[in-house]
C-alpha cells in the first residue's frame, strides 16, 4: 500500500473548515454588496424625485412671476397711453386759446387679465399661487364693492368645470352634515334677539314665555318695551317740569320796600 499520496486526517478536516469559512465570508460580503447597491438605488431614486419637485416648483414660480410681470407691463402701457393724451387735452386750440374738449382721457377700469383657472387636482403650492393672483385681480377690479352675484361670477370664471363640480358637491355635503333646518330660521333669529338684547327685564320676559315665542311676537314684545320705556322717560321729564313750576308758584313774593322821602333843606 502506497501512502505517499495520502494526507493526514487532521489536515483534511482543517482544509474543509477553511473552505466553509471562506464560503461564509463570501456570502456575507455578497449580501453586504447587494445591500449597498440597493441603498444606492434608493438614494438615487429619492434624489431624482427631489430634483423633480424642485424643478416643478421652479416652473410654477417662474409662471407666476411671468404672469405678474405681464400685468405690470400692461398697466404701465395703459398709464403711458393716458399720459400721452393728457397734454393734447390741456393745450387746447392754439388759434383760439380755448381748451380742446374733443380729446379727453378716459379714466375707465384697467384691463386686468384673469388668473389661470384652478383645477381640482392642484397642489397646495399651485393653490397658493392662484390665491395670490386672485387677490391681485380682486383688488384691481374692486370686486369687494360689487354685488355678491358679480363676485361669484368672477370666481366661477377662474375655476375649471371639474373644480366647480367639486365645490358644489363639497358644499352640498357640508350642508347635509350640518343638518340645516330650513324652517328653523325664525327660531334662530329669536334666539339671537334674546341673547343679544341689552335690557334685562325684556330678556326675562322673553325667556319666561313657554313655548318660545314666534319671531313676530318677540319683535312685538321688544317694540312695546321700547315704546313704554320712551314714554316713561318723557313722562318723568314732564313731571319734573310740572313740579318745578308748582314749586315756584308756591313761593311767597318778597315784600316791597318803600323808600323814605327826601329831606328838604
Per residue in 163-189, pLDDT tens? 888 888 888 888 777 777 776 888 888
Does residue 74 belong to any structural domain of this protein? Answer: no
Instruction: Please give the residue that has the higher pLDDT: either 157 or 180.
Output: 157
Global confidence as pTM: 0.32
Instruction: Please give the residue that has the higher pLDDT: either 254 or 202.
Output: 202
What whole-number distance in Å separates Cα of residue 92 and Cα of residue 97?
A: 7
Lowest mean pLDDT among 64-73, 84-93, 221-230, 241-250: 84-93
Does residue 130 belong to any structural domain of this protein? Answer: no
Q: Could you give phi then psi for residue 159, rounded to 5 degrees?
A: -125, 145
Q: How many CB atoms lie within 10 A of CB 141?
A: 16
pLDDT score for 219:
92
Tally of structural domains, the chain: 1
Does residue 75 belong to any structural domain of this protein? Answer: no
3-state secondary structure of 119: coil
What whole-number distance in Å separates Cα of residue 73 and Cα of residue 97?
A: 36
Does residue 240 belong to any structural domain of this protein? Answer: yes
Residue 93 scores a pLDDT above 50? no
Does residue 213 belong to any structural domain of this protein? Answer: yes
Does residue 196 belong to any structural domain of this protein? Answer: yes
The secondary structure of residue 209, as a DSSP letter, is: S
Residue 229 sits in which domain range? 184-246
- Which residue do the cell numbers 387679465 mark? 113
Does residue 23 belong to any structural domain of this protein? Answer: no
Does residue 214 belong to any structural domain of this protein? Answer: yes
Amino acid at each position: 500500500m502506497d501512502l505517499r499520496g495520502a494526507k493526514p486526517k487532521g489536515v483534511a478536516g482543517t482544509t474543509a473548515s477553511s473552505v466553509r469559512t471562506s464560503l461564509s465570508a463570501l456570502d456575507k460580503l455578497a449580501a453586504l454588496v447587494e445591500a449597498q447597491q440597493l441603498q444606492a438605488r434608493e438614494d438615487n431614486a429619492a434624489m431624482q424625485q427631489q430634483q423633480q419637485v424642485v424643478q416643478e416648483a421652479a416652473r410654477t414660480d417662474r409662471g407666476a412671476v411671468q404672469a405678474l410681470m405681464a400685468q405690470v407691463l400692461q398697466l404701465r402701457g395703459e398709464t403711458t397711453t393716458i399720459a400721452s393724451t393728457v397734454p393734447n387735452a390741456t393745450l387746447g386750440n392754439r388759434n383760439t386759446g380755448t381748451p380742446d374738449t374733443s380729446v379727453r382721457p378716459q379714466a375707465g377700469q384697467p384691463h386686468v387679465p384673469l388668473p389661470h383657472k384652478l383645477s381640482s387636482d392642484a397642489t397646495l403650492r399651485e393653490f397658493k399661487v392662484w390665491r395670490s393672483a386672485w387677490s391681485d385681480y380682486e383688488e384691481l377690479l374692486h370686486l369687494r364693492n360689487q354685488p355678491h352675484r358679480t363676485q361669484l361670477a368672477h370666481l366661477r370664471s377662474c375655476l375649471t368645470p371639474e373644480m366647480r363640480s367639486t365645490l358644489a358637491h363639497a358644499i352640498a355635503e357640508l350642508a347635509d352634515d350640518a343638518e340645516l333646518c330650513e324652517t328653523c330660521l325664525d327660531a334662530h333669529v329669536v334666539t339671537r334677539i334674546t341673547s343679544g338684547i341689552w335690557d334685562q327685564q325684556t330678556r326675562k320676559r322673553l325667556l319666561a314665555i313657554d313655548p318660545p315665542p314666534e319671531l313676530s311676537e318677540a319683535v312685538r314684545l321688544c317694540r312695546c318695551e321700547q315704546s313704554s320705556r320712551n314714554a316713561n322717560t318723557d313722562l318723568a321729564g314732564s313731571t319734573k317740569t310740572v313740579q318745578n313750576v308748582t314749586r315756584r308758584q308756591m313761593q311767597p313774593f318778597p315784600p316791597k320796600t318803600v323808600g323814605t322821602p327826601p329831606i328838604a333843606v
